[in-house]
Amino acid sequence: MNILFAASECAPFFKTGGLGDVVAALPKALQRKNLHVDVILPKYEDMPVRFKKELTFLQHIEVPVGWRRQYCGIEYLNKDGIRYYFLDNEYYFKRHGCYGYDDDGERFAFFSRAVLEALPHLDKRPDVLHCHDWQTGPICALLKSECFRSDLYYENIRTIFTIHNLKYQGIYPRSVLYDLLGLNDQFFTIKGLEFYGCVSYMKAGLAYADCLTTVSRTYAMEIQTPYYGEKLDGFLRSRSDALHGICNGIDLESYNPVTDPHLFAHYRDAEGKKANKQVLQKKLHLMDHANIPMIGMITRLTEQKGADLVLRVFHEIMALNVQFVLLGTGDPRYEAAFRYLCSQYPGNASANIFFDEGLACQIYASSDLFLMPSKFEPCGIGQLLALRYGSLPLVRETGGLKDTVQPYNEYDDSGYGFSFSNYNAHDMLFTIKRAVNFYQKDRALWRSLTNRAMRLDFGWETSAASYKNLYESLFDH
């Protein structure tokens, strides 16, 4: 079976968040399941030079964007057994960054149409087009339009649309339907792309894909409720039979405390974490104290990630005799608040308002607790990486956090993390107190929980098997 991933980003070529990691890792896991997977992407200006030098020009085509016909170059390179295709148009993509431009609606209308126009020129005809997030939603609608429906080449191509974060939807004026996508009014209905008088690229995928997935079982249920549904909960309930939750994984080779080149010392168990903690304390000018619990937080500083909860009870957290290490950027008011509060605890708190992959791995390896109190979290990767490096996650029970972190139960000695259910700063504080109490009173138990966490397998194999079953089910009838 031939699968083609269509996405707006993919590491190591371009990455702004978790989507880039998924599109990088999942195809490799699917290849190991004897599926043939290619990936098709925009060719942004920010592609590293080393990859630009490896590109091979395949073909140029013309792509209709409303009444215009735009140039599209098709280039490719092979990496790790996967062929990556890049669609080139300098007007749309020769810019820094992937998103955030006033004409993003036109840019991704072009990309969506270009993906379909490029298919006959690729090495293999896909059986399944796997589209990711709002930037590729129009592909699913266009494939159902008269232009492609009447072409035998496209007749039996199935589509899967994956929601990585429902909050970002690609909403544009109604005129986009005709002027950019070339679709008619039969697509502008409540069962189609129409969204409160506008056009939603996310809804294009939700309405016209053969199958829908999102990145955890709990998030699949949550988005069918008004609180999490971003005004699409009713529509998602109408398609609940087609909606599946499949948890993301992590790349166990890249994130491995035994081999990770960023770490100060490699390790296999809880005992080995000590050396990393000691060096990180010196690096960040914290007190050199092996027995003080270190709380790590690696995050975007946004309301979604629970930054306001931490700020609300920051002094109470520090009163527990802990060290706090933050890494991340985001909303300027959160950045300033964390800088100010951490400055009040010299030697015990460190605010690193930037992002650095190496320092992130060092924090995972050094911290004892990993704090992730998200308001909502489709899947989350931080808690999975924390478990891999033996930092016990302390999370709010939402989305993928609920699915992947089993809270510790002292009565039957089950679980390996800590969690709270209400989005409330004092519920979070109570849970932090409980975790710190276990750390301070029973170090043998803490070592046992750390080792238990490190033995868990959150690689991509289970997820890949679920996706393979889903692909095959599209052809069962």
Beta partners for residue 78, in sequence order: 83
Which residue has 């990993």 as its token pair? 370
Long-range Cβ pairs for the range 71-78 (8 Å, 24+)? 72/110, 72/114, 72/117, 72/118, 73/43, 74/118, 74/121, 74/122, 75/43, 77/51
Angle between helices 18-31 and 461-473 (to 10 degrees): 80
Q: 15 a known binding residue?
A: yes
Phi, then psi, of 79 in degrees rounded to 5: -150, 130
Report phi then psi at 88, rounded to 5: -110, 125
Integer Cα distance of 443 and 438 in angstroms: 8
Instruction: Please count the other Cβ atoms lying within 10 Å of the Cβ belonging to residue 116.
Output: 22
- Token readout for 233 is 């909960």
Q: Are strands 171-172 and 198-200 parallel, antiparallel or unpaired?
A: antiparallel
| Residue-by-residue DSSP string for 282-308 | HHTT----TTSPEEEEE--BSGGGTHH
First to last CA, the chain: 16
In angstroms, the CA 12 to CA 26 distance is 14
Query: Residue 231: which region, alpha, beta or left (left: phi > 0; alpha: psi -120 to 50)?
Result: left
User: 236, 247, 188, 189: which is closest to 212 by C-alpha?
Assistant: 236
| Closest C-alpha to 217, from 247, 249, 197 | 247
Q: CA quadruple 416, 420, 421, 423: dihedral positive or negative? A: negative
Q: Of 168, 186, 182, which Cα lies nearest the Cα of 18?
A: 168
Annotated binding site: 15
Binding residues for ADP-alpha-D-glucose, by number, are: 15
